[in-house]
A and B are shown apart, each in its own frame.
Chain A
Amino acid sequence: MTRKNTDRRTFLKTTTTATAAATLAPTLAFPNLKLKPYAGKSLTIYQQASPIFEGAFALFQPYFEDLTGAKISFVSIPNADLGQQIALSLTADKGEMDLTWYYAVYPLIVQGLVQPIDDFIKDPNLTPPAWNFADYLPGPLESGRVGGKLYNLSVTANALAFYYRTDKIAAAGFVDEQGQAVPPATWDDVQRYGQAMDARRDKPLLLMYSPNAIQFTRLWMSLWLAQDYTYFWDQSGKCIVNNADGLAATRLFKDLLKYASPTNLTWDFAEAHAAFQQGRGAMLPQWNNLGGIYDDPENSLASGKLSMAPWPRLKVSASDSGHWFSLIAANSPNKELAWVLVREYNSYEWQKKFFLNSVVNFNPSRGSVYDDPEARAAYPWLDAIRTSNDNGRDQQHQTLEWDEIELVLQEELGPFITDETDDAQQVLDRIATRIDQITRASGRFKG
């Protein structure tokens, strides 16, 4: 018995000494060595399968793993499946996903599936003051706030803007006193430019118009928003697009086809995107985060002849915004580590690095990057990005009924642009009736 007690005491003494030595030895031998705070942990991130997000991952992964000691794995998912994969993981008891970048976040937030990040930001151990939260642009920031809590930080702050080819516009005679190309400032200008540049098989306007894709509805929405509306229905849930402004926007929506290749009817995002890179048009309404790709000499004939203007005005220069947010899963066991990743992704250094990379080219959500001389030199249209983001309107996306309403727009506007019907008023009537039905059925509106 005595022998046994002695053994135990010796054992405890030995192991305590050994543990203390093992912990202290590296620190004493290598005073500069810092233990990685999240060594042994791992994060799984769902991302859109695209060169943009995959390029950002390739840049960021070595840095983050070195910083934290954690391992990150990215699961690339085609955009068509991304939403359902995210929802399935968020609603599972043990979802695979810790973090994602996504745009349709509102329904997920209101169901409590997304982790608020206010506490992480307030904690000086997790968010040092030097991270400078005040530098964050107010627009994207407000888009991530629901019910007074902040849920998301924008990875890339986007809105629709107007790309143009300086050489083609100048060749058509639209130049200032210095001979520099002048972009269209209004939709009347766009049509005037179109008439002047119109030639068979060389139409100047490129549009995302495929009625089978969702992108073309964004163009119609942005023509409505440029009439100085911020929303599509009033507080009682009654649809408000069925008026003279809505009619003008709807007719313009179709009139634009006059200045576009007839095959534009079939183009969705990828095809309009490729056509501009192939040098096939002078003007392209498109998301404002693609300048780097369009200006890349290896992949685009528009390179060196490219510029961007804010969304042309009807009454104001306002378009649909489409931020991609960092979203931390509420069911993740690694929320703190996920925040560290979001924090680093949104730091000044990485926002600038992403922006200056021609493949990634995330639009900065930090004001100071827009004032950075290196960024300004690389992208002379930087002010157009900022202006379009400042004017971007996103209220519609913060509505639970939006997915269904967007589907209605797709279903009603599709046959209108493909000439199955030419009656803009009838199209608006149907849109208004169906939106009213949806908002009434939701029971969330006073009307």
Chain B
Amino acid sequence: MNDARLAPWLFLAPSIFLLLAVVGYPVLTGFKLSLYDWQLATIGQEQYVGLANYLELPGNERLWGSIEFTLFYALTAVGIEIVLGTALALLLNQPIRGMRFFNTLLLAPIALSPVAVGITWKFFLNADYGTMTFLLQEFGIADYQTWLVQKSAAPWVLIAIDVWWSLPFVTIVLLAGLKSLPSEPFEAAQIDGARSWQSFFYITLPLLRPVYLVVLVIRVMDALRVYELVFVLTQGGPGRSTSSLSFLIWQTGFKLREMGNATAIGMVFLVFIVFLTVVLTKLLDRQIGEVRNG
């Protein structure tokens, strides 16, 4: 290999080594563990069971409940965030006085860690002395609320918190996209007599497709991994109504001490996430190509 061909590899070598060390090694070790019957308290006594942990997964009632909740949570939360984020980005894109202040205010939730968000909302939703109960009483709606322990309400509470927390990120990315759009198509549309909603649906949205895909890739990955909010606010309950896949992996590994099963669930989850990332990234590439080619 000549110097010119070797040089890129030399420059990439540290990154490749780091990736192999912090991603490759844990993934391979995880896969190996998933082939063993290994209780947390029995290191050194693991028994090789081949694919048995994987074959047990279809019969795992908890797993199906967690998949259902995780998909519902991720798709609903991200869907709401994209709709509301678009509306907010359009609003913030207007030349209104004081909009910079709102831009700054909007950034605040992004700075919070998920555990801090969970604890803050736990206080906010406290049935006895939380702000939500106070507001319900003030407006004469109800004396108290117990949403976090209601099977029908708890998933929606988690989604609402996710929206509150992630909406600023979605809005800011979309706003940046809006600001980078070329002005010519809009001017041409205006000359042709297009109404504002027609400009939005036929120019803005198609041009923003790559930005939407970026938001989708980042937010869907993030929402699928939801763990901290569940851990702090509901512990997967009531029943199993808010048990996310990440929470189930923790529960199986550290609560039930079945590390082999937990890593098997983790590996399947990983494959699913990688598959989704590949599909979304390919879509993103195609969209960017289409936009570039007009």
Contact = CB atoms under 8 A, between A and B. Distances in A.
Nearest to B233: A212
Interface string B52-69: 000000000000000000
B181 interface: no
Contacts of A92: 43
Contact of B41 (A113, A210, A412, A420): A113
B41 A87 contact: yes
B257 A107 contact: yes
Contact of B151 (A261, A263, A420): A420
A407 interface: yes
Given A87-B40, A111-B39, A420-B151, A212 B146 contact: no
A3 to B, nearest CB: 58
Most buried by B among A84, A213, A261, A271: A84
Contacts of A411: 237, 239-240
Interface residues of A, number: 33
A266 interface: yes
Interface string A415-432: 100101000000000000
Given A263-B144, A265-B149, A420 B257 contact: no
Nearest to B253: A84
A407 B238 CA distance: 11
A414 B45 CA distance: 36
Interface string A77-98: 0001001100110111000000
Nearest to A110: B41
A394 B243 CA distance: 29
Nearest to B236: A212
Contacts of B42: 91, 111
A91 B40 contact: yes
B256 A404 contact: yes
A403 interface: yes
B21 to A, nearest CB: 21
A204 interface: no
A90 B41 contact: yes
A415 B239 contact: yes
Contacts of B236: 212
Interface in B232-280: 233-241, 251, 254-257
A411 B40 CA distance: 23
B128 interface: yes
A211 interface: yes
B257 A266 contact: no
B235 A420 contact: no
B148 interface: yes
A150 interface: no
Contacts of B126: 266
Contacts of A420: 150-152, 238-239
A275 B128 CA distance: 10
Interface in B188-237: 231, 233-237
A108 interface: yes
B257 A87 contact: yes
B37 to A, nearest CB: 12
A409 B268 CA distance: 28
A388 B241 CA distance: 35
B148 A266 contact: yes
Contacts of A128: none
A414 B255 contact: no
Given A90-B41, A107-B41, A111-B39, A414 B237 contact: yes
6 nearest A-B residue pairs (beta carbon)? A263-B127, A414-B238, A212-B237, A91-B43, A211-B238, A84-B254
9 contacts: A87-B40, A87-B41, A107-B39, A263-B128, A266-B127, A266-B148, A414-B239, A415-B151, A418-B238
Given A262-B144, A266-B148, A411-B239, 15 more contacts: A87-B254, A88-B40, A91-B42, A212-B148, A212-B237, A265-B127, A266-B127, A266-B149, A403-B257, A410-B237, A411-B237, A411-B240, A414-B237, A418-B238, A420-B150
Interface of A: 80, 83-84, 87-88, 90-92, 107-108, 111, 113, 210-213, 261-263, 265-266, 271, 275, 403-404, 407, 410-412, 414-415, 418, 420
